[in-house]
């Protein structure tokens, strides 16, 4: 259950809508498939905690859906995982995990497919509360594309400054490769 304090940390009372953002032109979902490491996420995200998170996208099913599997290690050496699918219209996707979890807005603002991806989500709850999240993903445990991330966010989501930098590499444990398929 989400506490009131946590709810206020996630949502902002505003009559403003989501900013008009420009998404990755001619998004290629096939090139997006594979392993990504989370390097940053919005500080207010309550459904994701800890470090060493990974996401694997693909393969694309015959129905056009992109498979999604997110994982992160637990203290006991096991892993938390959740699997679902994404339905994309260009670079604007809707991610679904379980029937009782609302689908998630997933917009790819920018990616070079080989090194980084900047993902944005924004919406309104009850027509009053706006939420917005950002994720920064990379293809490797190390990340050196912060200039691109910062300039993209400054241009696309002015005033956004709520990133938590996720620890990767070092002593991180990752889901075995064959489990990520």
Answer yes or no: is pLDDT of 5 > 50. no
Q: What is the pLDDT of residues 27-51, one digit of tens each?
A: 999 999 999 999 999 988 766 678 9
CA distance 34 to 140: 11
pLDDT score, position 120: 97
Q: Which of 44-53, 75-84, 146-155, 165-174 has the lowest mean pLDDT?
A: 44-53
* 14-171 placed in CATH 2.40.128.20: yes
Answer yes or no: is pLDDT of 17 > 90. no
> Beta 12-13 vs 34-42: how paired, if at all?
unpaired
Six-digit token pair at 147?
A: 């200039």
Do residues 160 and 132 make contact, with C-beta atoms less than 8 angstroms apart? yes
Q: Which of 36-40, 131-135, 159-163, 177-181 has the lowest mean pLDDT?
A: 177-181
> Beta 92-96 vs 104-111: how paired, if at all?
antiparallel
pLDDT score, position 136: 98
Domain boundaries, the chain: 14-171
CA distance 39 to 141: 8
∠ CA 150-154-156, nearest 5°, is 115
pTM above 0.85, yes or no: yes
Of 49, 43, 40, 38, nearest to 12 by C-alpha is 43
CA distance 110 to 120: 10
In whole numbers, what is the pLDDT of the chain averaged over residues? Answer: 87
CA distance 39 to 154: 18
Q: What is the pLDDT of residues 85-137, one digit of tens each?
A: 999 999 999 999 998 888 889 999 999 999 999 999 998 877 778 888 999 99
């Amino acid at each position: 259950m989400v506490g009131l304090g946590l709810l206020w940390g996630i949502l902002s009372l505003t009559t403003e809508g989501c900013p008009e953002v420009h998404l990755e032109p001619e998004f290629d979902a096939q090139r997006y498939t594979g392993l990504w490491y989370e390097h940053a996420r919005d500080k207010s995200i309550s459904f994701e905690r800890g470090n060493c998170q990974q996401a694997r996208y693909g393969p694309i099913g015959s129905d056009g859906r992109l498979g999604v599997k997110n994982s992160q290690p637990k203290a006991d050496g096991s892993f938390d995982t959740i699997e679902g699918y994404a339905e994309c219209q260009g670079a604007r996707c809707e991610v679904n995990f379980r029937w009782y979890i609302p689908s998630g807005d997933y917009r790819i603002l920018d990616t070079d497919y080989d090194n980084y991806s900047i993902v944005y989500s924004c919406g309104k709850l009850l027509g009053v509360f706006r939420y917005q999240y950002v994720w920064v993903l990379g293809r490797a445990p190390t990340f050196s594309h912060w200039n691109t991330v910062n300039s993209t966010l400054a241009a696309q989501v002015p005033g956004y400054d709520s990133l938590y930098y996720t620890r990767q590499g070092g002593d991180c444990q990752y889901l075995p490769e064959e489990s990520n398929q």
